[in-house]
Structure 1
Amino acid sequence: MATRLRPVSVLFKYLTVCNASKKCTVIGGSGFLGQHMVERLLDKGYSVNVFDIRQGFKNEQVQFFIGDLCSKKDLLPSLQGVNVVFHCASPAPSSDNKELFYKVNYTGTMTVIEACKEVGVQKLVLTSSASVIFEGRDIKHGTEDLPYAKKPIDYYTETKILQEKQRMGHVQEVLKANDPANNFLTVAIRPHGIFGPRDPQLVPILVETAKSGKMKFMIGDGKNLVDFTYVENVVHGHILAGEHLQKDSPLCGKAYHITNDEPIPFWAFLTRILIGLNYDAPKYLIPYWLAYYLAFFLSFLVFILGPLIKIKPTFTPMRVALAGTYHYYSCERAKKDMGYKPVVSLDQAVERTIKSYSHLRRAS
C-alpha cells in the first residue's frame, strides 16, 4: 500500500514546491512599474502579494499588505511562504526630499534584506537604475563593468548606488547580500528612462512643460542618443531575472542593464511624444556648454537666496546633462545570461503611450 502511495506523495511534494516557486511579493506594487509587474506576474500564473504604503488599485487576485518599508514588523507578513521578492519601491527621481530618498532607497532596502532572510525568501530582485554609473558625461554602449559614479548626478542616484554596493562597515547591501550557501540569491536590474501607460512622470511633465511654453529650446545639437525603455520590457527583464536566478547561475550578485536596445536622439523622442499629442516640438538650439553654465549659475543663485526665498528650479545642471549628453547602455549581459530581448519595439511603445495619454492631447 505504501509503495502505491509513493508516486502520489512525490507528485504532491513536487506540486507544493512548484506552487511555492510561483508565489512572489512585489514591494512598491502600487506604483507605476509595480502595477505593470503585478499584472504580468498574474498573467504568468504567479500568486502575488503587494506591499506598499498605500493600495493603488483593486484586484481580487492580489493580497495587499499596507505598511512602512522600514518596519520589519510591517514587512514580514507579506513575505511568508514567498520564494521571490521584486523590490521596486522608490520615491520619484524628480523629488528633492533627500531624507525620503535615503529612508526608502537605503534604509528600507536593508530592512527588506533582513526580513527576506528571516522568513526564508530565496530570491531578491532589486529595481536599480542605469544612472548609478552616469556622472553627466557621455556614455555610449555602457556596460555593467563601468564603476559606480564618484559624483552622482543627484541624491536619488546616490542612494541607488548605496542599494547596490558595499560601504565600509556594511555588508547587507543587495548585491553583497547574495549568499548561495544560505540559499539567498540577489540580482539588480538597471532600467533607463522608463515610460509607458500610467506613467506619472515623463509624459505628464512633458505636457505641462509644453503648455507653459518652456519646450521651445533644444539643448545641444539634437544628436545625442539616449535609452528610453518601455515599461513592459522593464517588467520582462525583472521576471526573467527572477526565473533565471538560481544557485551557480551567472546572475547571482550581479547587475543587469535593461533597455529597449534602441537608443534614439533625446530630442527626437520627446518630439514624437509632443507631436503625437498635438503640441509643438522644440525649434531653437542652445549650445550645451551655454545651457550648462546658465543652469549652474541659476543653481548657485538659488543656493545663495535659499535662506530668504524658497525656489525650486527646474532648469538644473543635472537636467541639462540628461538632455544634452549621450547615455545609452549595453544589454549584452542580459541577453547572454537570461535570454533577454525586448518584447515591445520602441515604435510600438511610443504609439501605445501616446494613445494611452489621449486625454492630454491638445485640442486643434
Structure 2
Amino acid sequence: MATRIRPASKKCAVIGGSGFLGQHMVERLLDKGYSVNVFDIRQGLENERVQFFIGDLCSKTDLLSALQGVNVVFHCASPAPSSNNKELFYKVNYTGTRTVIEACKEAGVQKLVLTSSASVVFEGTDIKNGTEDLPYAQRPIDYYTETKILQEKEVLGSNDPENNFLTVAIRPHGIFGPRDPQLVPIMVETAKSGKMKFMIGNGENLVDFTYVENVVHGHILAAEYLQKDSPLCGKAYHITNDEPIPFWTFISQVLVGLNYEAPKYQIPYWLAYYLALLVSLLVFILSPLVTIKPTFTPMRVALAGTYHYYSCERAKKEMGYKPVVSLEKAIEKTVQSYQHLRRAR
C-alpha cells in the first residue's frame, strides 16, 4: 500500500462546499486540522473557520481567488441529477471542470480530488461487484451521467506528475445521510402521494447505498495518499459502504423508520420497464404542446430493478480504505435526522 502523506500545507479548497456532500466534507476537514476555503454559487453554511468565495465555476477569475495558497482541491460541485437540465449538466460537469483544472494549474495547486460517480460504467443492466476496470458506459443511463463521464476523463487525463499536478477520482454510489435534499425527501414525498406501494422486480437485486461520512473519508484518504509515483495518480476508485443490500430492503427500512408503509406489491421488471418506455414516448410526442416531467422513467426503473454494486478492493489496497460507519448505523442516523418528515401515527 502507498505511504500516507499529509500535505505540507494543510490548506484546501472545497468546490461545491455548500452542497450536501460538500458541507460534510468541510466539517470533517476542519476536524482534521485543515484550513478550508469554500467556493460555491451560494453560502450554504455558517462557519467562522471557513473562508467563503462566491462565484461562477466557469469563471477562472472567480476560482483563482479561492485557490491562492491551496495545496488540495476537492471538486464536488454538481447540479442535482433530478433537475434534468442538460445545459446546466454540461456547463457545470464538463465546461466548469475544465476551468477548474486550468485554475488549479495556474494557482499552483498540487492535488485535485474529483467526486465522480460509479454510474459512469452503468448502462441499466446488472453489475455485480464491479471493478474500476469496467469500461465507461457506451449508453449512459442519462445525460447527467454522460457529462460525468466527460468530467472524469478530463480530470484523470490532466494528471501530470512531471509538473507536480496530481489527480484522482472518487466514485461513490447511492450517497445518503443527514441533510441530503434528494434521496429521503423524494422518497417520503413519493410515499405521501401513494406511489410507494409497488416494488419493481422480485426485491432481491443488490445495490450499494453509501453513507456520506464514508464518502468523505474516501476523499480525504485519496488526498493524503495522492503523491508522485503513488498508484493513485490518474486513477478512479469506488467508495461504498461495502455492504450491498437489496434495493427495496433499504427503501423499506427508511420508510418504516419514518412511519410510512413499505412497498408490498411487486411489478415484474420487464413490465415496469416497458411501461416507463411508453410513458417516455408519450411525453416526447406531447412535448411540443405541454411540458411534463415524468417521475416514472426507464432510468429510474433500471436503478430500482437491477443489481448495481461495486468492489472497493482497489481503495482498500491502495489507500487503506474501510467504511467508518456501518450501513445499519448509517440508516439509523439518517432516519433520526429526518424526524421532521416522520408521519404522525
1:228-280 deviation line (CA, Å, top 9, x unaligned)? 00000000000000000000000000000000000000000000000000000
After TM superposition, list the pairs within 5 Å mapping 1:44-55 onto structure 2.
44-55=32-43
Q: Distance in 1 between matches of 2:104 and 2:251?
A: 40
Give yes or no for the alignment of 1:130 onto 2:118: yes
Q: For 1:94, what is the secondary structure of its paired residue?
A: helix
Match of 2:312 in 1: 331
- Amino acid across the alignment from 2:65: P
Displacement of 1:93:
1.1
Match of 1:341 in 2: 322
Tell which has more relative contact order, 1 or 2 (C-alpha 8 A, sep 6+): 2
Q: Which runs of 4+ in 1 moved over 6 A?
A: none
CA contact (8 A) 2:7 2:71 kept: no
Q: Distance in 2 between matches of 1:279 and 1:19?
A: 47
Match of 1:235 in 2: 216
After TM superposition, list the pairs within 5 Å mapping 1:7-22 onto structure 2.
21-22=9-10
- Amino acid across the alignment from 1:204: P
Match of 1:302 in 2: 283
Q: For 1:151, what is the secondary structure of its paired residue?
A: coil
- Amino acid across the alignment from 1:116: C
Q: Distance in 1 between matches of 2:9 and 2:196?
A: 48
Q: Distance in 1 between matches of 2:66 and 2:196?
A: 44
After TM superposition, list the pairs within 5 Å mapping 1:42-121 onto structure 2.
42-121=30-109
**CA gap 1:255/1:97 in 2 versus in 1, 3 angstroms:** same
Q: For 1:124, what is the secondary structure of its paired residue?
A: strand
Counterpart selection for 2:265 from 284, 287, 290:
284
- Give the length in aligned residue pairs: 341
Q: For 1:174, what is the secondary structure of its paired residue?
A: helix
Match of 2:185 in 1: 204
- Amino acid across the alignment from 2:219: H
**CA gap 1:197/1:345 in 2 versus in 1, 3 angstroms:** same
Q: Distance in 2 between matches of 1:176 and 1:241?
A: 17
CA contact (8 A) 2:41 2:56 kept: yes
CA contact (8 A) 2:209 2:240 kept: yes
Q: For 1:218, what is the secondary structure of its paired residue?
A: strand
Match of 1:160 in 2: 148
Displacement of 1:19:
7.8
1:104-123 deviation line (CA, Å, top 9, x unaligned)? 00000000000000011000
1:128-157 deviation line (CA, Å, top 9, x unaligned)? 000000000000000000000000000110
Match of 2:3 in 1: none
Larger Cα Rg: Structure 1 or Structure 2?
1
Q: Distance in 2 between matches of 1:45 and 1:309?
A: 53
Q: Distance in 1 between matches of 2:96 and 2:218?
A: 23
Q: Distance in 2 between matches of 1:333 and 1:100?
A: 32
Displacement of 1:20:
5.1
Match of 1:268 in 2: 249
Unaligned runs of 5+ in 2: 1-5
CA contact (8 A) 1:189 1:237 kept: yes
Give yes or no for the alignment of 1:185 onto 2:173: no
Match of 1:142 in 2: 130
Unaligned runs of 5+ in 1: 1-17, 166-172
Match of 2:299 in 1: 318
Q: Distance in 2 between matches of 1:345 and 1:122?
A: 33
Give yes or no for the alignment of 1:151 onto 2:132: no
CA contact (8 A) 1:20 1:81 kept: no
Match of 1:354 in 2: 335
**CA gap 1:66/1:261 in 2 versus in 1, 3 angstroms:** same
Match of 1:244 in 2: 225
- Amino acid across the alignment from 2:149: I
CA contact (8 A) 2:7 2:224 kept: no
